[in-house]
Amino acid sequence: MSLTLFGAQLSPFVRKVRLCLLEKSLDYRLEVVMPFTPPEWYLQLNPLGRIPALKDDELCLADSSVICQYLEEAYADTTRLYGNDAPQRAQIRWLEKYADYELAPLTTFGIFRNRILKPSMGHTCNEDGVQAALNEKLPPHFDYLERQLGQNDYFVGSQLSLADIAITCQLINLEHGAEQVDASRWPALAAHFARMKTLASVASLLPEEQRMNAKLIEMGKRVQQPG
């Protein structure tokens, strides 16, 4: 087994695969590839140029959900992250998709990209778009996730799954963008996020990410300074 993950640490989709690997205790090597300017050789792994991609010996895969589901099936003797039966697996895949396709455009591409990435590259933050995401678009999604959690510790069943990981990965990018889930409005979701950040896997990644995020913020400030 020789696992190599390609991508950038602050990507929620790369983070999702890293947490999957860590929870399964699978050794891997991270090779940093930036999402907007991938090298030509990377396009041989993923012709779309998106991150992440994974190599397992000679096998090459792209797309975080495809990768995580492959790891679940290929390494069946590791911790299970897609449930114990068909109904659970379906629910977990649905919530993973929900995080990737409904939350990501708002938490990552709306708030984190505008607040952190765009200023670091010398572009202006679209704060109106950020506020629309926070006040209009995200609340219905958080309402839905709050109902899904109810009084439970996990989104599906009684153990950690990719549903928990995928949703947490998007909320981490929300936090990197200087926003939080309002615990007074969504107490179950906020408590779930707080618990997830105490997991050894999540806690092992956050300090490096926070340092990188702080550097990007400083870059943005320098770029915006006159002269």
Can you give the pLDDT at residue 143? 98
Q: What pLDDT is attached to residue 44? A: 86
DSSP 146-211: HHHHTT-SSSSTTS--HHHHHHHHHHHHHHHTT----TTT-HHHHHHHHHHTTSHHHHHHHHHHHH
Q: What is the pLDDT of residue 24?
A: 98
Angle at 144 between CA 16 and CA 68, to 5 degrees: 20
pLDDT of residue 222: 84
The whole-number pLDDT of residue 35 equals 85
Residue matched to tokens 């012709």:
47
Q: Hey, what amino acid is at 15?
A: R
Looking at residue 225, what is its pLDDT? Answer: 65
* Pairing status of strand 53-56 against strand 3-7: antiparallel
Each residue's pLDDT, cut to its tens digit, for the chain (227 residues) gives 699 999 999 999 999 999 999 999 999 999 999 988 889 999 988 999 999 999 999 999 999 999 999 999 999 999 999 999 999 999 999 999 999 999 999 999 999 999 999 999 999 999 999 999 999 999 999 999 999 999 999 999 999 999 999 999 999 999 999 999 999 999 999 999 999 999 999 999 999 999 999 999 999 888 776 54
